[in-house]
Amino acid sequence: MAEYHFPVPGAVDENKIVLFVHRHWASFLGQFFLSLVMLVAPGIIVLILFFSDIKIAEGFVTHFMVLGLSIYYLITITVAFLAWISYYYDIYIITEDAIIDISQQGFFGRKISQLSLLRVQDVTSNIVGFLPTFFGFGDVLVETAGEQSQNFLLKAVPNPQEVSAKIMELHNGLVETEGRHHQLLEAEGALAPGTIREGTHQVGDGHPMSETSPPVSQPAPPPPTNQPTFQQNIPSAPKEGEVSHDDLDKGGEIELK
């Protein structure tokens, strides 16, 4: 696997970075040669006119030609530079728990998208064409689960099969870690057994509650006094709607009261 020791944006925790993927240099070859031809071709034409017997570049045609070529070359180098900037800052950062896509569009556009690895469902690597096959680069399509599915296309990355395998490996590891985390919480009593896997949370009296329940900060209606509640098991029961320190120690999994 190609190594990328490219420095990272300050917002990303460097310790969590697993892969730093840059677009393969061969994917820039087309734009590079196009820019080269655009820079060289007018010069060659001017030289041919200068040394030939064709009397086009005479009189005030020379004036227009100088001004026109000057403008043409300035625009061409700017277009070439913008293409290079867009290529150079097309970066994909794969951390332990997310994929970050940094996309540069010329001078004035930068798009940064982030996708949680937990949402990954399918990963497809795709190598099509002579140059991608020869240099070993291609696209990696990351598809997500859920109604609002969001697809991530990692364009022209080196070794796409290995990148896609790494993404799936990180995804599986993360799912396993999350599962163990929930098992630990269940063992500590912070979660009712099987609540997360079944897609429902349980309140103190054992009634299942859907995931679209109101947030913790909103005060819930007080329970009837004749029924036992979860608050009675807590040594220092907080006031209604408050989050106690005991709850915070349970890894952020807070019982609704």
Partner 1 sequence: MYIFLIIWLLFVFAYVIFNVYGIYRIMAMRIKGDSVIFAVLVYLIVMFVIIAISIIIIANLDWGKNLKDVLRF
Residues that bind partner 1 (CB under 8 A): 6-10, 59-60, 62-64, 66-67, 69-71, 73-74, 77-78, 81, 84-85, 88-89, 91, 104, 106-108, 110
* Angle at the Cα of 229 from the Cα atoms of 226 and 233, rounded to 5 degrees: 125
Give the residue from 228, 225, 244 showing the smallest Cα distance to 236: 244
- Min separation Cβ 14 and partner 1, Å: 10
Alpha helices in the chain (DSSP H): 29-51, 60-88, 130-135, 160-188, 245-249
- Min separation Cβ 206 and partner 1, Å: 52
Pick 41 or 145: Cβ nearer partner 1: 41
Pick 68 or 228: Cβ nearer partner 1: 68
Pick 10 or 199: Cβ nearer partner 1: 10
Q: Residue 200 in contact with residue 182, Cβ under 8 Å?
A: no
* Dist CA 49 CA 41 (whole Å): 12
- Min separation Cβ 13 and partner 1, Å: 14
* Dist CA 126 CA 141 (whole Å): 8
Q: Residue 214 in contact with residue 220, Cβ under 8 Å?
A: yes
Pick 104 or 164: Cβ nearer partner 1: 104
Q: Which residues is 139 bridged to in the sheet?
A: 126
Pick 78 or 172: Cβ nearer partner 1: 78
- Min separation Cβ 113 and partner 1, Å: 16
- Min separation Cβ 47 and partner 1, Å: 15
